[in-house]
Structure 1
Amino acid sequence: MGAGVVIVGGGQAGLQLATSLRQGGYGEAIRIIGAEPYAPYQRPPLSKAVLSGEAGVDTVPLRAPAFFADNRLDLVTGRRVEAIDPGARTVTAGADTIAYDHLIVATGADVRKLPVPGAELEGVLYLRGLDDALKLKEALARPRQVVVIGGGFIGLEVAASATKLGSKAVVVEALPRVLARSTAPAMASAIVRRHGEKGVEIKTGAGVSRIEGEGAVSAVVLSDGTKLPADLVVVGIGVVPAAGIAQAAGIATDNGIVVDELLRTSAPGVFAIGDVARFPTRFAPKPVLVESVQNAIDQGKAVAATILGKPKPYDAVPWFWSDQFDMKLQTTGLAFDVEEAVVRGDPDSLAFSVFLLRGGRVIAVDTLNKPADHMIGRRLVTAGTRLSAAEIADPSFDLKQAAADPARG
């Protein structure tokens, strides 16, 4: 018997890897070591269903407790791995030194902290893990004056959830528009309009200079001197890959753990997957980090295949979704060097799509309440399908047929 597989990180990526290994007939030991006190759980509900009370500690786990015993998965929670020794092929967790044949670093990412005076005041919260969500849920149990700092997916989802719970929400975004790194301008405009109709105020091009309060937060002061009353502040300004343990072990990092097309790090026998892994992809001109459930699941499956002796370069098309009020936003592809954005449908209807092109090929698709367009969009992006702006904008044009046409690839 060998030392088996050790997975550092108890999230979606690590659990998928372990599950795929057992499904593929892997017979050696598999140990999952997670820093949080919970078994692997779903993260998407944290900013939505958990805040509303529709989901909680009992409903977000990805698997029932019996699953781990039934599949001989040694799950260790509330434990942090402090060090990796690639030469000895061991990790250190507390007083224990644990050997491995294959090590997978799936440590995810940590919230980016707001570097302004007053950020440490009571009532300034972040949202990354289940404990964060439960704390925020408690804070939103009564109506609040909420300032959300950051106009990305998490910030807008929190603003929507807070509004539905009876609070007044103001979103502050430093960039000229919300969702600037993730969606097309036309899509962002429609989402902003719907938030406004629901009572959310959104301020763009607005930096934060400080947070005020005597012990607890009372206001957020913007760079132009505007003072926003607040008794609750939620910061959602992005994340930082949790790559410190790999960097300390001499494993190559670059704002994330650097991996190759098989998700292997610079250390023999060590892989990295999920939010922490910076990987090469044909969908981008340079290695990227992708923070999504899809990426975590697909990378877990890919590394399992490699360990099982069936390696295949990771080539999954990225996709993501976000639920806000009555809007389901879905994106696929990576919008690098976009040359043309073409709207299909009526943005005022809250059911439309935006196709992003480079060199006449579809490289990304954003959809709002158009799940069929999203599914076809995945196929178009994967194939690099050539489409004209006129074809995309024509509602009678058959996208499905175009996606199946090899001559357009």
Structure 2
Amino acid sequence: MTTGCIVIVGAGQSAAVAAHALRDGGHDGAIVMVGREPHRPYERPPLSKAVLVGAEEPRLDVLADDDWLRCNVDLLSGIEAVRLDPAQRRLHLAGGRTIDYDKCLLATGGEPRLLPWAPCGGERIHYLRTVDDARRLRASLRARPRIAILGGGFLGLEVAHSALAAGAVVTVIESAPALLTRFLPAEVSGWLEATLRSEGAHLRLGTSVTRVEPMGDRPLLLVTGDGERLEVDELLVCVGMSPNDALAREAGLAIAPGAGVLVDASCRTSDPNVYACGDCASQQRPGQQQPTRLESWQNANEQARIAAAAMLGSAPPVPPFPWFWTEQGRHNIQMLGLPAAGLDYVRRGDPASGKALWIGHRGGVPMQGVALNAGGELRALRPLFDRARPVPMHEFAQDHLNLRAWAKQLLAEPAATL
């Protein structure tokens, strides 16, 4: 049982999960949560899908009403945290209020990377991070506009499918010559491209927009780096996210070389009483050359639980193998593990049939799994990834093989026989 005040800066996924874990872990003192948005913590993955095109907006709350009440959180919504004073253990809020804390958790998330020629809130120009952003974009899709999506990452492609479903004319502009090759094997990237084109999306790969020219009541005119001029009714900018690390940076906390609040394995910052988790936190991970941020639903949850355990002095949960997922229209893609240079990929199934599974390995040791509409099969293989030892990849590729039984058999055998 612990007492004292824990302040959580941010009111998103990580913040809500951390508050729940703190109460479950026996924290009996105050929990104060400070959030800029006027909402209770909500889920963000549906913003690019169901919120845009669902018949009704889904319920987005991270925690059910009963769980939220049990957390007994003092939620200060619509308020900006302006300064953190680790020496005094004090958080300063806009308007002059201060909160003294015993422990502080930074769960400040991130913000869309802005382009100077596409101002946030500009007429016909959209960024997507909040539920209010999604509602504004949904309203614009009702007119079945011509919409350009700048950025062919997971978020941009999810919105592309949603916009197509809403009847919009969709153009995706991506500076890389192929889609998502930093995260997916080339074969999956090619399948994504072919699928989008077959569903009616126009793809402009290997180019970027250099400027946008508003035309009054007329459409926006986009000018690309190769000289193409595109008239569109709406523009969505999805060119990445920047971590909200300014509060930590100005407080003198360590910042990772590539941005993000630097944390250790317990999500502790360079100050022993300040922790960070989720999209704002950068952590050194096995197999990575430098600290990295993982912008994922799973990481937001797991880091929140790890930080809560550390603040309580409890044993940390075992960190799981990184897991990501994305809904691309009617297709589900799940990724287990992190991409790495030099992996050899073995495929099972046929993407043309709508179902396939890839394992990227190094010397037979599974490093990354990618499932196309085959999430259950990938989950069955997860213990093999955890073991980090060679497996017979030629057997995996056999379509008749029962993967669950195969994985179970391999796990029962001593490592020397594999």
Other-structure match for 1:224: 226
Structure 1 residue 157: deviation in Å? 0.6
Structure 1 residue 309: deviation in Å? 1.9
- Aligned partners of 1:26 and 1:308 also within 8 Å: yes
Q: Which range moves more in the overlay, 66-75 or 152-161?
A: 66-75
SS in 2 for 1:262: coil
- Aligned partners of 1:117 and 1:209 also within 8 Å: no
Distance 2:413 2:252 in 1: 45
Distance 2:401 2:118 in 1: 54
Other-structure match for 1:38: 39
Other-structure match for 1:375: 379
SS in 2 for 1:218: strand
Q: Unaligned regions of 5+ residues in structure 2, if any?
A: none
SS in 2 for 1:376: helix
Seen in structure 2, the aligned counterparts of structure 1 residues 266 and 313 have a Cα distance that, compared at 3 Å, is: farther
Other-structure match for 1:77: 77
AA in 1 matched with 2:411: A
Structure 1 residue 212: deviation in Å? 2.0
SS in 2 for 1:138: helix
User: Does residue 325 of structure 2 align to residue 321 of structure 1?
Assistant: yes
Other-structure match for 1:97: 98
Distance 2:160 2:214 in 1: 22
AA in 1 matched with 2:248: A
Distance 1:273 1:340 in 2: 32
Structure-to-structure mapping, 1:5-404, within 5 angstroms:
5-56=6-57, 59-65=59-65, 67-94=67-94, 95-116=96-117, 121-215=122-216, 217-254=219-256, 255-312=259-316, 315-400=319-404, 401-402=406-407, 404=411
Structure 1 residue 283: deviation in Å? 4.9
Distance 2:373 2:343 in 1: 25
Distance 1:10 1:149 in 2: 28
Seen in structure 2, the aligned counterparts of structure 1 residues 2 and 371 have a Cα distance that, compared at 3 Å, is: closer
Seen in structure 2, the aligned counterparts of structure 1 residues 285 and 374 have a Cα distance that, compared at 3 Å, is: farther
Distance 1:117 1:97 in 2: 36
Structure 1 residue 3: deviation in Å? 3.5
Q: Which range moves more in the overlay, 281-290 or 308-317?
A: 308-317
Distance 1:120 1:21 in 2: 37
- Aligned partners of 1:118 and 1:212 also within 8 Å: no
Structure 1 residue 230: deviation in Å? 0.6
AA in 2 matched with 1:382: D
Distance 1:91 1:153 in 2: 35
Seen in structure 2, the aligned counterparts of structure 1 residues 377 and 177 have a Cα distance that, compared at 3 Å, is: farther
Distance 2:27 2:189 in 1: 45
Q: Which range moves more in the overlay, 246-255 or 47-56?
A: 47-56
Distance 1:287 1:157 in 2: 27
Seen in structure 2, the aligned counterparts of structure 1 residues 382 and 48 have a Cα distance that, compared at 3 Å, is: same
SS in 2 for 1:83: strand
1:161-217, Cα deviation, whole Å (9 max, x unpaired): 001001010111101111122221111111221111211122211121111222465
- Aligned partners of 1:361 and 1:386 also within 8 Å: yes
AA in 1 matched with 2:134: A
SS in 1 for 2:272: coil
Distance 1:372 1:185 in 2: 23
SS in 2 for 1:147: strand
- Aligned partners of 1:352 and 1:370 also within 8 Å: yes
Seen in structure 2, the aligned counterparts of structure 1 residues 203 and 407 have a Cα distance that, compared at 3 Å, is: farther
Distance 1:286 1:406 in 2: 35
Distance 1:377 1:229 in 2: 47
Q: How many residues align?
A: 408
Structure 1 residue 150: deviation in Å? 0.5
AA in 1 matched with 2:295: E
Distance 2:266 2:146 in 1: 47
TM (norm. structure 2) is 0.92
Seen in structure 2, the aligned counterparts of structure 1 residues 121 and 81 have a Cα distance that, compared at 3 Å, is: closer
Instruction: Calculate percent identity across the aligned residue pairs.
Output: 34
Seen in structure 2, the aligned counterparts of structure 1 residues 343 and 287 have a Cα distance that, compared at 3 Å, is: same
1:67-117, Cα deviation, whole Å (9 max, x unpaired): 444332111111111110000011011221101111000000110112447
Distance 2:32 2:231 in 1: 48
AA in 2 matched with 1:110: E
Q: CA RMSD in A?
A: 2.1
Seen in structure 2, the aligned counterparts of structure 1 residues 283 and 333 have a Cα distance that, compared at 3 Å, is: farther
- Aligned partners of 1:283 and 1:363 also within 8 Å: no
